[in-house]
Structure 1
Amino acid sequence: MRRIYVILLLSVLEEKNARYILPTIPDVIHPPVPDDVKIGADMEFMFEDPDPEVTPGLFQGDMAMTNEIYNYWRVGIRWEVFPEKLWVNGTVPYVISPIYEPADQVTILKAIHILNFMTCIRFVPWNGKTKDYLLIWPIKYPKGCWSFVGRFGGAQIVSLQPPDSTGPNCLGTEGRTIHELMHALGIFHEQSRWDRDKFVKVHLDNIIPQFVSNFDKQSLENTTYSFEYDYDSIMHYGKNFFSKGKGKPTITPKMPGVKRLGQRKALSKGDCLKLNDLYGCFDNPRLRRKYYTLCQFMGL
């Protein structure tokens, strides 16, 4: 483990010394939110135990999305309509903000290395020239963990709030970084699948009224990925997301024996399979065997 930490830290230092000019990043950003779900206020006061994925006040908490994409996604976003939302050749250039402490940069890099290892997607350090790239940055407002969905174009923000006196926020482990990077790759929340009502019950009476739309389910075309419903997905809401208060779960499993909903520790087997399927990693028979095996043995 110490050796891995040293290797990652060296990668951080190499990236810091890279010669490129970053765009000016303001402390306050106004990421797109569909008109139907705009709240227009600071979210944190609404929650007894604010989660950094729900406080940004974006679509479903942490997803920046335009009206155009939202209107298609409400009936299942269609990649043939928006092919530009996928990263070309599965290659994702990135920059990690030098504002982060070295330990936080290592946490982010661990998430990147996990995705690179378990899928054929390749996150690569930005060369200073490529037009589209991820800019992983601690935005102050809206604070928390959030990302655009799919490739948005230009310097695309993935905001990860670093640890502070209140807690670890987005960087206690690599799990929340993986979650937001999966949004950036085009993956949505698991509980929004069209078939979710067979597997979970949504308790509308326990949801803060302004956020009921966050629990809308979507259509068959985009939200199944040909894989079974995944309670263990790193993309699944926890049972108390957007709850009115303690003891009032907003979503609970219908299947007996399911003890948790979602987690922010690691890719599940289903998460891994979805990513590899979306980016064509299974098209080559040799690579299919490799990545399918990795998903089965390393997925949670």
Structure 2
Amino acid sequence: MSLARKFSTVFVLLSLYFLKTSSRHVMPYVPDVLHPPLPDNYEIFNTTDISEGDVDPEMTPGLFQGDMALTNDLYNYWRVGIKWDAFPEKLWKNGIVPYTISPLYEPSDQVTILKAIKTINFMTCIKFVPWNEKTKDYLLIWPIKYPKGCWSFVGRFGGSQIVSLQPPDRSGPNCLGSEGRAIHELMHALGVFHEQSRWDRDKFVKIHEDNIIPRFKSNFDKQSLENTTYSFEYDYDSIMHYGKNFFSKSKGKPTITPKIGSHKIGQRRAMSKSDCLKLNDLYGCLDNVKTRRKYYNICNFMGL
């Protein structure tokens, strides 16, 4: 058995143990508000012109760039991740993220979510911890029906904050075929944006505007140099990168393709080395010599 599979097996066993022990404590109630109030200028885009059979579950919510519930106060200030000096309230304090998982999920889907959580806990100094039913701000991981699909707010919004992960159904695995999509949405919740939005992306990818459904062209906007960090190189392997057919008018018409080599884009298997380093950098895990060495080694060993 490979080392990677051994790690995966350990994650599953730990997750099953967690489910067994935590099941003794029944959630006292489901919060009345399942997501923070949406701002007045917020709009859920109409996705009726996307073919339902072909659509990626990160596109179906119809939110900003598909899967991000993003307010205008953040739009002009993002980079690889939220600028904490501009929006300190969006940071999860001390890198601690309380969470609770909906009992509506099947046990196997809960295990998939827990594998995503335990992966981030292992690869970074960020710590997801079970909600103690007292902390005001926490993630509520829930299979929201509207808007359905995979989506999250970006950074700490406040209160009971939804991360929506649509479970498998007759149409396919949706957000929980593996832990990759859960990791993607959890990274949004931690404050990380999509990779192809970087200011320097045109050096690395070509955007095929003629192939994009017109109403979704703004999803491919890039950010200015002033609002972008380039501490890390452009990452085709990022779990935060669009797939080549996102928001395409039809099959066989890619909307985004690499300019260099034959890189595949849009993987949702695991964090890349760069994804891992970004998270650690955003949350100060690389600020001192001891932790920097530790997490650089983990990222290089565990990242794609």
TM-score between the two structures when normalised by the length of structure 1: 0.92
Deviations 1:88-137 (A, max 9, x none): 00000000111100000000000001000000000000111111000000
Deviation at 1:15, TM superposition (A): 2.9
Opposite residue 284 of structure 1, the aligned amino acid is N
Map of 1:103 onto structure 2 = 108
Deviation at 1:69, TM superposition (A): 2.1
How many residues were matched structurally?
A: 296
1:135 aligns with 2:112: no
After superposition, the Cα gap between the structure-2 partners of 1:21 and 1:67, relative to the gap in structure 1 and judged at 3 Å, is: farther
Gaps spanning 5+ residues in structure 2: where? 1-5
Instruction: State how far apart, in whole Å, the 2-side matches of 1:31 and 1:44 are.
Output: 27
Deviations 1:158-212 (A, max 9, x none): 0000000110000000000000000000000000000000000001110000100
1:292 aligns with 2:274: no
Map of 2:3 onto structure 1 = none
Q: Quick one: which of 7, 15, 19 aligns to 2:14?
A: 7
After superposition, the Cα gap between the structure-2 partners of 1:73 and 1:50, relative to the gap in structure 1 and judged at 3 Å, is: same
After superposition, the Cα gap between the structure-2 partners of 1:259 and 1:221, relative to the gap in structure 1 and judged at 3 Å, is: same
CA RMSD of aligned residues (A): 2.3
Does the 8 Å CA contact 1:243/1:250 hold for their aligned counterparts?
A: yes
Does the 8 Å CA contact 1:34/1:67 hold for their aligned counterparts?
A: no
SS in structure 2 of the partner of residue 237 of structure 1: coil
Q: Quick one: which of 261, 268, 273 aligns to 2:272?
A: 268
Gaps spanning 5+ residues in structure 1: where? none
Deviation at 1:16, TM superposition (A): 3.2
Instruction: State how far apart, in whole Å, the 2-side matches of 1:298 and 1:4 are.
Output: 14
After superposition, the Cα gap between the structure-2 partners of 1:60 and 1:33, relative to the gap in structure 1 and judged at 3 Å, is: farther
After superposition, the Cα gap between the structure-2 partners of 1:61 and 1:40, relative to the gap in structure 1 and judged at 3 Å, is: closer
Instruction: State how far apart, in whole Å, the 2-side matches of 1:179 and 1:33 are.
Output: 24
After superposition, the Cα gap between the structure-2 partners of 1:239 and 1:42, relative to the gap in structure 1 and judged at 3 Å, is: closer
1:215 aligns with 2:220: yes
Instruction: State how far apart, in whole Å, the 1-side matches of 2:256 and 2:39 are.
Output: 24
Instruction: State how far apart, in whole Å, the 2-side matches of 1:223 and 1:14 are.
Output: 43
Deviations 1:187-240 (A, max 9, x none): 000000000000000011100001000000012355435000000000000000
Alignment of 1:169-188 (within 5 A): 169-188=174-193
Instruction: State how far apart, in whole Å, the 1-side matches of 2:216 and 2:236 are.
Output: 21
Identical residues among aligned pairs (%): 70
Map of 2:25 onto structure 1 = 18
Instruction: State how far apart, in whole Å, the 2-side matches of 1:144 and 1:133 are.
Output: 20
1:90 aligns with 2:95: yes
Instruction: State how far apart, in whole Å, the 2-side matches of 1:39 and 1:122 are.
Output: 31
Deviation at 1:24, TM superposition (A): 3.4
SS in structure 2 of the partner of residue 266 of structure 1: coil
Does the 8 Å CA contact 1:238/1:261 hold for their aligned counterparts?
A: yes
Alignment of 1:27-176 (within 5 A): 32=38, 35=41, 38=43, 40-43=45-48, 45-46=50-51, 49-73=54-78, 78-176=83-181
Deviations 1:6-64 (A, max 9, x none): 3211212333333553443579x7974894x8454344754550110000000000000
Does the 8 Å CA contact 2:11/2:115 hold for their aligned counterparts?
A: no
SS in structure 2 of the partner of residue 157 of structure 1: strand
Map of 1:194 onto structure 2 = 199
After superposition, the Cα gap between the structure-2 partners of 1:222 and 1:277, relative to the gap in structure 1 and judged at 3 Å, is: farther
Opposite residue 111 of structure 1, the aligned amino acid is A
Instruction: State how far apart, in whole Å, the 2-side matches of 1:203 and 1:126 are.
Output: 44
After superposition, the Cα gap between the structure-2 partners of 1:73 and 1:289, relative to the gap in structure 1 and judged at 3 Å, is: closer
TM-score between the two structures when normalised by the length of structure 2: 0.90
Opposite residue 160 of structure 1, the aligned amino acid is L
Instruction: State how far apart, in whole Å, the 1-side matches of 2:230 and 2:21 are.
Output: 37
Instruction: State how far apart, in whole Å, the 2-side matches of 1:151 and 1:158 are.
Output: 11
After superposition, the Cα gap between the structure-2 partners of 1:174 and 1:19, relative to the gap in structure 1 and judged at 3 Å, is: same
Instruction: State how far apart, in whole Å, the 2-side matches of 1:49 and 1:216 are.
Output: 23
